[in-house]
Structure 1
C-alpha cells in the first residue's frame, strides 16, 4: 500500500508548487514582457531599432522621446510642439529625416506655418536646456527658409527672392535662406516677418548655391524635410528599467530555490519551501537594489510580489488545516444532532407506547424471526416485506423493514404504530410488534397468506363469486368505518386501494398499510391541508382543491368508491388499452350503461350485469361524487351493502363522468399502486386552484 504519510506530503508539496508558480508568473506578468527588444516595422519603414520604440514597448526598449506612431503608410514622431513624418533613418550616421506634415507640397504655391519648428531658439546646439520629453533631441541642420511680407518691392540685388504667386499689388512676399535664426531686426523697415521652416543639409558643401536659389528650388528642398541627430546617450538604463531587471532576476532565483528545496523529501525542505520563499526573494532584491534609494514604485512592486506569494500560502494553510476540518466537524455534529433528535423523538413515543401497545423487539430478534431475511414477500414504497415465524407457537408473521431514506424523520413509523398498535378489529390488520434501534426500524404484522386484493380482482380469470365480492366489500367498509367511528380518535387512512387490502387464509379482508394515516378528534369534519396525500386514481377531489369541500372522513369514502368500481369491473378504472375509447374510464362508461337502463333504453351490458355487480357499481358511484357532502358516510355504505338491491337509486353524474371528461386516460394513466402524490405537490395545486 505504500506510506500514507509520504503520499500526503507529496500531495501537499504539489499543491504548494502550483500556488507558488502561479504567484510568480502573475507577478512577472504585472512587471512587463520579456527583456528582448526585436526590430519592428512602422509605416513604410522596416527593421527599426533603438533608440526608436513603439507605444507599449518595454521601458528598456528605445528612448521615450523617440517613440513612433505607426499607421499603414506613415511613421510619425512628436517633436516639441508638432508632429512630423519620419521619412528615413540612417543608423550609421546617427540621424533621421523628418518632414513637416503641415507643409502642403501638393500646392502650386505652398507657405509654411508661422514659427512651426521642432524646438525653441535656445535648442540650436547652443543651450543644453531641452523641452520636456526631448532631452536628447538635437537637430543636425541650423539652416532655415525665412518668409517676409513687404509693403513695397525690395531691390533685386538683395538676398530676398520674390514669391510671385503669393504677392499682390501692395503686398510683396519674399523668401531667403538664413544659416541661423530668422531675425526680425534684419528685415527692411517696410517688411514684416511671415513664416520660417528648417531646411535639409544636403547643400552644406555649396552654401552659395542654396543662398542664390529661387523660390521653386527652396520649396523643393523644404519638401525633402530636414535631419535630426540621434540621442547623445541611450545606453544608460533608467531606474525603473534597472528595478524591473533586478526583480526579474530575483524571481528567477526564487523559482530555482523553490525547485531545489521542494525536490527533497525531508520536513526541513518542506518548511524552507513553505516559509522561506518570500524571505529569499526579499533578501535578493535588497542586495541588488542597495545602490539606489527605495522609491515608492520599488516598494509597491516588491510588496505586490510578496503578497502574491504569501497570500495563497496563507489561504492554503487556513483552508487545509483549519476551515476544512472545522467544516467537516460542523457537518458531522449537525448530522449527529439531527439523528439524535429523530431517535429521541421516536424513543420517547415508543416508551409510552410500550405500556399499552404491541411488543417491542430487538433488531437481533427481527433477524431471528425472518431467519436472516430469507423469505421476501414483496417490495413497497415504504420498505421490503419478509415472512417470519414467532416462537413459541410457530405463529407466522409479515415483517416490514422500513427504508431509512424514505422515513428519515420517523413520522410514518410513529403514525403506523400509533394508529394500529391498539386496534383489534377483524377487518383491520393487526400490528403484533415493532423494532426501533437507531435508524433500523421494522413492523411485525399478522401474516396474510392470500396476499393483497389487487392480484385477485385484476386477474384474467374471475377469482370470486359476486356474493364473495359483496362480502369482501362489506368487510372492507366495516374496517374503514371502525377507523372512523370505533376508536377514541378518528383515524383517516388516506390510501385506500386494492394493494392495501390484505386477505387472510379465509379471504377475510383486512385494511393494512397505515403509513399515511392520521389521528383526528372524532366528529371533527375539518382536516388541515397538510394532510393531503394518497395515490393517484384514488385521491378525493377535495385533497386537490378546497373548492370541492374540506378534507374529512369522506375522503376515505371516495377512495373506497373507486375500489368498489374496480372490484365490480374486474379492471382498473383508468385503462387506456381498452378496445373502445369510451370504455377507457370505467366509472363513466358504467354510469352511462346504468342510466340508459334506468331511462328505459335497452343496454345489453346492463341486462347481462349481476344484481350484486350493479349494486357495487351504484354504491361506488355514490361514493365518488365530486362534492364531499354528496357522498354517504361509511356507516351508510354498510347499510346499503347489507340491504338488497331494491330501491337503490342512481346518483347524479359525477364530475369525472361528464361527457367532456370521458377520455381521461391522459389524466389517469398513473394507476400504479406505488405512485403516491406528495404533500408539496398537492399543496401547490390547491393554492393554484384557490387563486
Structure 2
C-alpha cells in the first residue's frame, strides 16, 4: 500500500515535470518579437495574428495589426493598444470608438463593463482608475459637477433619437465615483467610460479636455503564466532531484508502464476535483471582481449581515421564484424595499450578473430600480424599490375580490409596460433583450405604475445589431417567441420581446390565460384565435359588461396584440410602433393579418 502510494507520488511529480518543463516552457522561449505601428517588440505573452513563427502554440494574448494600429479584441469589442509594460505586467488600451472622428465628438462604441474584458488572465487595474459618466437630463442642471458636452457632441450624441418621445435632452459628463442616489432624478446614465490618465481630475476641465484625457485609455493587468501551472517553475528548478529519484530514461519508461494503471484513475479523480473547485472559486471571484470594479457606479453595496438586519431576519416573504425568494425590508432611512435572495442555480452566477449589468444603471419610470446588492461568495442579494401592489399577475388571473382592475387602468398599464420595453430596446447604449416578459415580471407601485422587472434571462447586444447570435430557448412557455424554437421562422431579435408583450397584452384584455382548456366554448380554448375570428367577422368582442368607451379600448388592445404575435418576426412592429399604436385612436389601426401562418 505504502509502496503504491510512493510510486504514484513520484509518477505524479514526473508527469508534472515533463508537462511544465517540456511542453509548456518551450513555446514561450521560441516566440520571436514583432511590431505594429508604435508598439515595438511585441513578445510573450502577446503575439500578432498571422505572424510567422516557429512556435507550436499560439501566444496567450493575440493582437492584430490594422493600418499600423495594434488592436485587441475582447468579446467582439475593439480596443487600440497604446502601450505594453512588461515590467509591471500591464497593457493600456482605449475604446476604438473614441478615435473614430479624431475630435471630441467621438464616443466609445459602448459603455464600459469589466465583464466584457474578463477572462482567465486579464483583470482591471483599479489603482488610479477614473470614471466618467455620460448623462442625459430632461432639464438643465446647474452644478459644477455636471460638465456640458454639447459644444462637442451636438448633433452626434442625442439620446432623444433613441426614443419615440420627442424631448429636448441636455447632455453632461460627470467625473468621479458616484452612487446612483447622487444623480438628479430627471437624469439617467447613458454611458460609462474609464480612464487611467493621471491628470483627469485637474480643475476647470471642459468636455473637450476630458475627452482628451479619455484618449489616454485605461490599464489592464495580465498574468504571465497559466495559473494551472503555478508550480512549474519550482519543478523545473528541481529537475535534477526528480531525475535522481527515477534514474535513467529506460527506467523511466518502464516505471511509467508499470504504474500507469495504478495511478491513472486516482490522478484523474484528483485532477477533476481540483478543476471543479477552481472553477467554482473562479465563479465566485468573477462575480465579486465584477461588482467591485463597478462599485463606483452601482447602487449601495451591503454586507449579508446588513441584508439580514434590513429584512428583520427574513421575516416577511413577498414571493418566490425558481431560484430566489423575495422579502420585505426596511432601510435605515425608513424606506421600504424588496430584497431578493438568490439561491443556487445552474447559471453559476450569470443570472445575478445579468440583473446587475442590465438594471444597475437604468433610470426609467417603467423599469424597476435597483437600490443595492450583496455579493459575499455564494451569498447574493438584490435590493429593489418596493412595489406596493405586487405583480400584474394577480390582477389578471386572481378571482379574489378587490383585485380586479378597470379596463381603462389595464390600458394605462399596457402603455407603461410598452414604454419600459421600448426603453430597454432603444433607450440605452446597448439594446437589452429581456426574454421573459410575462405578468409575473410586471410589478405595480402604489399608484399602479408598471415597472418591468426580473432581468435574469436578459441579454445585451449592440444597438446596431438587428439580429443577435442564436440563443438557446429562454423564457416561459406561452410567452416565448416561435423563432426561439424554430430557426426557419426568422432570426432572433428584439421582436422576441414584442411577441411576449403581445401575449401579455392579450391576457390583460381577456383577464385569463391565452390557452384555457376549460373555456366555456371550445372555440375560445385559444383566445388569440377566437378573438381574431371575431374581428375578421366584424363582430364586437364581448368581454363582460363594459361601456362603449371600454369596447374601443379593448378592440385597440386586441388589434395591437395581434400585430405583436405575428408568427413571422418581420411582420411584428417595433416597441416604438407599439407605443404609437396604443396611443392612437382605434380607427387609425389597420386590421392585422392572421398571426398563425408564415405568409
Matched, 1:514 2:514: no
- Deviation of 1:649 after TM superposition, in Å, equals 2.1
Q: Distance in 2 between matches of 1:558 and 1:624?
A: 5
Instruction: Trace 1:489-500 onto structure 2 (pairs within 5 A).
Output: 489-500=430-441
Instruction: Trace 1:92-491 onto structure 2 (pairs within 5 A).
Output: 329-330=270-271, 332-391=273-332, 393-407=333-347, 409-460=348-399, 463-491=404-432
Aligned to 1:561: 502
Contact kept? 1:591, 1:657, Cα under 8 Å: no
Aligned to 1:168: none
Q: Distance in 2 between matches of 1:592 and 1:606?
A: 18
Matched, 1:624 2:569: no
Aligned to 1:580: 521
Aligned to 1:256: none
Q: Could you list the per-position Cα deviations for residues 406-433 of structure 1 after superposition, in whole angstroms to 9, with x for gaps in the alignment?
A: 44x2111111100000001110000111
Change (3 A) 1:395 1:531: farther
- Deviation of 1:606 after TM superposition, in Å, equals 11
- Deviation of 1:558 after TM superposition, in Å, equals 0.5
Q: Could you list the per-position Cα deviations for residues 200-229 of structure 1 after superposition, in whole angstroms to 9, with x for gaps in the alignment?
A: xxxxxxxxxxxxxxxxxxxxxxxxxxxxxx
Q: Could you list the per-position Cα deviations for residues 469-513 of structure 1 after superposition, in whole angstroms to 9, with x for gaps in the alignment?
A: 111000000000010111011000000000000001111000000
Aligned to 1:552: 493
Residue aligned with 1:655, SS: coil
Change (3 A) 1:622 1:353: same
- Deviation of 1:546 after TM superposition, in Å, equals 2.1
Q: Distance in 2 between matches of 1:373 and 1:625?
A: 44
Contact kept? 1:353, 1:418, Cα under 8 Å: no
Q: Which moved more, 1:336-345 or 1:458-467?
A: 458-467
Q: Distance in 1 between matches of 2:299 and 2:522?
A: 50
Q: Which moved more, 1:581-590 or 1:644-653?
A: 644-653
Contact kept? 2:288, 2:377, Cα under 8 Å: no
Aligned to 1:139: none
Q: Distance in 2 between matches of 1:374 and 1:573?
A: 36
Change (3 A) 1:463 1:329: same
Q: Distance in 1 between matches of 2:386 and 2:545?
A: 41
Q: Could you list the per-position Cα deviations for residues 352-377 of structure 1 after superposition, in whole angstroms to 9, with x for gaps in the alignment?
A: 21121122111111111111111111
Count of aligned residue pairs for this structure pair? 336
Q: Which moved more, 1:614-623 or 1:344-353?
A: 344-353
Contact kept? 1:362, 1:436, Cα under 8 Å: yes
Q: Distance in 2 between matches of 1:560 and 1:387?
A: 28
Q: Unaligned 5+ residue runs, structure 2?
A: 1-257
- Deviation of 1:344 after TM superposition, in Å, equals 2.0
Instruction: Report the TM-score, using the length of structure 1 for normalisation.
Output: 0.46
Change (3 A) 1:380 1:334: same
Contact kept? 1:594, 1:606, Cα under 8 Å: no
Residue aligned with 1:560, SS: helix
Change (3 A) 1:558 1:488: same
Q: Distance in 2 between matches of 1:607 and 1:594?
A: 18
Q: Unaligned 5+ residue runs, structure 1?
A: 1-313, 659-691
Aligned to 2:596: 655
Residue aligned with 2:554, SS: helix
Q: Could you list the per-position Cα deviations for residues 436-463 of structure 1 after superposition, in whole angstroms to 9, with x for gaps in the alignment?
A: 1111111111111111001001133672
- Deviation of 1:603 after TM superposition, in Å, equals 7.5
Change (3 A) 1:432 1:604: closer
- Deviation of 1:532 after TM superposition, in Å, equals 3.5
Contact kept? 1:363, 1:435, Cα under 8 Å: yes
Residue aligned with 1:535, SS: coil
Contact kept? 1:452, 1:503, Cα under 8 Å: yes
Contact kept? 1:495, 1:534, Cα under 8 Å: yes
Q: Distance in 2 between matches of 1:615 and 1:370?
A: 43
Contact kept? 1:477, 1:634, Cα under 8 Å: yes
Contact kept? 1:404, 1:440, Cα under 8 Å: no
Aligned to 2:20: none
Matched, 1:527 2:432: no
Supply the RMSD in Å over aligned alpha carbons. Answer: 2.6
- Which is greater in Rg? 1
Aligned to 1:643: 584
Q: Distance in 2 between matches of 1:657 and 1:566?
A: 23
Q: Distance in 2 between matches of 1:465 and 1:657?
A: 35
Q: Could you list the per-position Cα deviations for residues 149-195 of structure 1 after superposition, in whole angstroms to 9, with x for gaps in the alignment?
A: xxxxxxxxxxxxxxxxxxxxxxxxxxxxxxxxxxxxxxxxxxxxxxx
Q: Distance in 1 between matches of 2:589 and 2:406?
A: 21
Change (3 A) 1:546 1:464: same
Q: Distance in 1 between matches of 2:292 and 2:514?
A: 44
